[in-house]
């Protein structure tokens, strides 16, 4: 006999981090328990679904083992995002990954050159951030958070590559002019040697670090080419190689820094100081020192420094930096405000609800930085290709420069020069950078739209999706239901039916329950205190009031409780034709009344769905727990041909799994909290209105900061444009490399021209990817 059980396990993953490796570790450890047949894990909800044989193992034993493993993972695994300084080429990322991975206790490393970030997973008992920082220093890099430059060196840090390149170029120009004017060979070579030494300083540092890491990066190959040219007396070629590579490298760093700055600009949204009210006096303090519970004064025109709730004053607030919404929102007592938004009119007093480091803006920045560091499948492919391709190029160059002249009698100088040129032109620098720069730019652009996309893999999936499922309540509708009608089926008045229904539902968090309670309070009705409250998710609730048992819920729920619902047939039919949802009310299993609740379709829902149809989405399904007639009414209004009604949360997961099985991939759009299991089951889970909602930010693959459904087709457009640019970059990179290699082998190519072609192609690939920073959605 096999039973299936769902366990609620609060401690599974380190710091709530959704790490695939940690999930697999937990799953693997539980499968080792004798009697456990299968394990499914939803990390977003910290829930385990187990198939086990109760004759071989008890549920308590399995749960205890799950908690033990969770605690073990919590103690043994740390996930850390580390800003990096000193990376000046895509090869630097590969070099750092290999070197840091070799440290004891390091389980996983991902480095993004465009984002200048490292995601590291390690055992704190075996290594530490300081040990990682030491390894980085040995490679010539720095952990930016650990080694911040002093103010006096900021100018040098920002401009050292420009200065080095300018000095190299000036010395090269002086050498060329001196040669043209007939100066001595010694003078000319001194100028060229100075050009090489100055221009190759950072190149040489990186080349030495690549040898330490047992890799051959672009810097090493370029340095080898320059030294080889000098060795055979081609000083001018050697200096040209160094200068052109230094210039190209400097331009690449400058352009990729623009991508990084697009995220850094988010950091500048939050002011560094705040006005805290202490005993009626305004005290200016650092925003990082503001504590939860403090009252902060925000004057008109100022940026709000904290996440909190308005306690006094009213104003209009521009939330576009956080949510992407173009229309400012009115704020008054009880309303939430977010750090980084702008107070446009009246003064506000805000009670701080989150520390500075945990604001919505801070979390968005952190998640975007993590997303930029996560590699897309295409990027992983190009890196794997590079690891095989680069050694092959070096071997071919050695064959050309050493074997061919002696074995086939060719000119040593000619073939040696060709081998050096081959090292330069065949280096896959443009190919390696083709994907990460486009992914980083697209994620940064999405963040400025108020959409958080969690990584390149999500971006790639979004670009090819053609099937979607949408939750109804709160997603396609406004999610703020209101009471439309109340009917009594006995001697009680309509208001008494509403009062009793609200008394039962006052402990429920369901949107319909909240609507019933709000309607009762708005009519000034006095609610009773319920006891023995129980809720059946997706069905209804029951509670005892003054010794009498009351039920409130759907028709199905009443029928399950053996309540005769026939007195409500005509009323329910009328409400259903209007698209209203009915909450039936029963006392001691006798129907006493019903409350009709209506929800309004979002005004932008139909245009958004039409835009998705135009974008090639051929199947879109609405999912709801409402009755069939209500679902049909909303589907008709939205122009949807397909819907599923009367669904429980786990049944929504089944529908999403079915869509994925039928079509290979599917999008699920929901609220990120109640729909978390369905979001996790989809290829891409997208959460609406994630601003201020920690659960939505954590669980969704894509989080919409606002409730604007038009952001969905827009982010799909953006992902497709990103994938198009990635394909352009890869095709262009291959074409240029093939052309330069063939030209080098067949007719010979000047070394300096080879460098120009190599650096030019890499720069064009970066500039093409950066176009996404200025992308605008089609209307």
Residues designated as active site: 471
C-alpha pair distances (Å), 729 with each of 426, 571, 587, 770, 777: 16, 63, 69, 11, 21
Contact indicator for 199, 242 with CB cutoff of 8 Å:
yes
Cα–Cα nearest to 727, from 434, 371, 385:
434
Which contiguous run of DSSP H or E holds residue 58? none
Give Cβ neighbours of residue 289 (< 8 Å, ≥ 6 apart): none
Neighbours of 639 (CB within 10 A): 12
Strands 684-687 and 702-704 come out as parallel
Contact indicator for 592, 497 with CB cutoff of 8 Å:
yes
What 8-state DSSP symbol labels residue 562?
A: T
Q: Indicate the SS3 state at residue 380.
A: helix
Cα–Cα nearest to 646, from 659, 657, 656, 631:
631
Question: What is the CA 619 to chain-centroid distance, rounded?
Answer: 26
Neighbours of 357 (CB within 10 A): 9
Which contiguous run of DSSP H or E holds residue 35? none
Give the pair of three-digit tokens for residue 337.
């405000």
Strands 308-312 and 348-352 come out as antiparallel
Give the pair of three-digit tokens for residue 114.
């465009």
Contact indicator for 598, 491 with CB cutoff of 8 Å:
no
Neighbours of 46 (CB within 10 A): 17
Neighbours of 608 (CB within 10 A): 21
Phi and psi at 528, nearest 5°, equal -85, 160
Neighbour order of strands in the sheet with 117-122: 106-112, 117-122, 78-85, 142-143
Where does 579-706 show beta strands of DSSP type E? 581-587, 590-598, 619-623, 642-644, 667-670, 684-687, 702-704
Beta bridge partners of 544: 531, 549
Instruction: Please compute, for residue 279, the number of CA atoms within 13 A of its CA located in the half-sphere on the CB side.
Output: 0
Contact indicator for 423, 726 with CB cutoff of 8 Å:
no
C-alpha pair distances (Å), 442 with each of 232, 260, 454: 46, 12, 11
Give the pair of three-digit tokens for residue 119.
């995601």
Neighbour order of strands in the sheet with 36-42: 3-8, 47-52, 36-42
Neighbours of 44 (CB within 10 A): 20
**CA 410, 411, 415 angle in degrees (round to 5)?**
85
What 8-state DSSP symbol labels residue 411?
A: -
Using CA atoms, how far apart are residues 401 and 416, in angstroms rounded to an integer? 4
Contact indicator for 341, 278 with CB cutoff of 8 Å:
no
Neighbours of 592 (CB within 10 A): 22
As a whole number of Å, the end-to-end CA separation of the chain is 58
451-476: b (≥16 Cβ within 10 Å) or e: bbbbbbbbbbbbbebbbbbbbbbbbb
The burial of 367, by beta-carbon neighbours within 10 Å (0-12 exposed, 13-18 middle, 19 or more buried), is given as buried
């Amino acid at each position: 006999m096999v039973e299936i059980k769902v366990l609620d396990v609060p401690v599974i993953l380190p710091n709530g981090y959704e790490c695939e490796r940690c999930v697999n570790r937990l799953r693997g450890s539980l499968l080792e328990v004798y009697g456990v047949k299968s394990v499914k894990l939803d990390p977003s909800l910290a829930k385990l679904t187990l198939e086990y044989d109760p004759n071989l193992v008890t549920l308590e034993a399995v749960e205890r083992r799950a908690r033990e493993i969770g605690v073990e993972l919590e103690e043994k695994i740390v996930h850390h995002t580390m800003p990096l300084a000193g990376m000046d080429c895509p090869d630097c990322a590969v070099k750092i990954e290999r070197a840091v991975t070799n440290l004891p206790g390091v389980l996983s490393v991902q480095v993004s050159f465009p984002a200048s970030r490292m995601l590291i997973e390690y055992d704190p008992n075996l290594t530490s951030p300081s040990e990682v920082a030491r390894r980085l220093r040995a490679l010539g890099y720095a952990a930016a958070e650990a080694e911040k430059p002093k103010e006096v060196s900021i100018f040098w840090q920002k401009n050292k590559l420009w200065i080095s390149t300018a000095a190299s170029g000036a010395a090269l120009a002086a050498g060329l002019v001196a040669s043209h004017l007939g100066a001595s060979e010694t003078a000319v070579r001194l100028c060229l040697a100075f050009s090489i030494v100055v221009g190759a300083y950072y190149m040489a540092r990186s080349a030495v670090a690549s040898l330490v890491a047992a890799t051959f990066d672009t810097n090493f190959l370029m340095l080898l080419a320059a030294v080889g040219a000098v060795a055979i007396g081609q000083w001018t070629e050697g200096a040209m190689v160094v200068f052109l590579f230094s210039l190209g490298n400097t331009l690449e760093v400058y352009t990729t820094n623009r991508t990084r700055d697009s995220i850094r600009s988010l950091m500048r949204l939050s002011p560094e100081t705040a006005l805290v009210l202490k005993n009626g006096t305004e005290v200016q303090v650092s925003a990082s020192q503001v504590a939860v519970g403090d009252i902060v004064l925000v004057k008109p025109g100022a940026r709000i420094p904290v996440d909190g709730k308005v306690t006094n004053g009213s104003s209009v607030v521009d939330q576009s930096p956080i949510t992407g919404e173009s229309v400012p929102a009115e704020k008054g007592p009880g309303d939430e405000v977010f750090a980084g938004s702008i107070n446009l009119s009246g003064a506000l007093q805000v009670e701080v609800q989150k520390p500075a480091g945990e604001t919505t803006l801070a979390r968005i920045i952190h998640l975007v930085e993590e997303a930029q560091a996560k590699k897309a499948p295409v990027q992983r492919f190009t890196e794997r290709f590079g690891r095989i391709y680069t050694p092959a190029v070096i071997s071919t160059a050695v064959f050309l420069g050493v074997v061919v002249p002696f074995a086939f009698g060719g000119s040593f100088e000619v073939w040696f020069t060709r081998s050096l040129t081959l090292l330069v032109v065949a280096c896959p620098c443009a190919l390696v950078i083709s994907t990460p720069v486009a992914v980083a730019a697209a994620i940064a652009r999405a963040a400025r739209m108020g959409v958080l996309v969690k990584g390149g893999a999500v971006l790639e999936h979004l670009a090819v999706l053609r099937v979607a499922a949408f939750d109804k309540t709160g997603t396609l509708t406004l999610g703020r239901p209101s009471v439309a009608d109340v009917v009594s089926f006995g001697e009680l008045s309509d208001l008494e039916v509403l009062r009793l229904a609200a008394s039962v539902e006052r402990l429920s968090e369901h949107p319909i329950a909240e609507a019933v309670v709000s309607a009762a309070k708005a009519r000034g009705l006095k609610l009773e205190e319920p006891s023995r409250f129980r809720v059946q998710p997706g069905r209804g609730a029951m509670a005892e009031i003054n010794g009498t048992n009351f039920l409130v819920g759907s028709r199905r729920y009443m029928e399950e409780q053996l309540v005769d619902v026939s007195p409500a047939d005509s009323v329910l039919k009328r409400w259903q034709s209007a698209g209203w949802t009915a909450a039936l009310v029963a006392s001691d299993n006798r129907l006493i009344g019903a409350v009709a609740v209506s929800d309004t379709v979002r005004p932008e829902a139909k245009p958004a769905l039409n835009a998705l149809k135009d974008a090639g989405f051929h199947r879109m399904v609405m999912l709801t727990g409402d009755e069939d007639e209500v679902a049909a009414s909303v589907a008709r209004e939205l122009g949807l041909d397909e819907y599923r009604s009367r669904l429980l949360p786990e049944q929504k997961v089944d529908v999403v799994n079915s869509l994925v099985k039928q079509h290979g991939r599917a999008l699920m759009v929901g609220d990120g909290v109640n729909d978390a299991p369905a979001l996790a089951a989809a290829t891409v889970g997208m959460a609406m209105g994630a601003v201020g909602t920690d659960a939505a930010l954590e669980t969704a693959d894509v989080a919409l900061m606002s409730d604007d459904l038009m952001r969905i087709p827009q982010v799909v457009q953006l992902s497709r444009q990103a994938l198009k640019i990635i394909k352009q970059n890869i095709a262009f990179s291959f074409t240029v490399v093939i052309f330069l290699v063939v030209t080098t082998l067949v007719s010979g190519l000047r070394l300096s021209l080879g460098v120009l072609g190599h650096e030019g192609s890499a720069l064009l690939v970066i500039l093409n990817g950066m176009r996404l920073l200025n992308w605008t959605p089609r209307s």
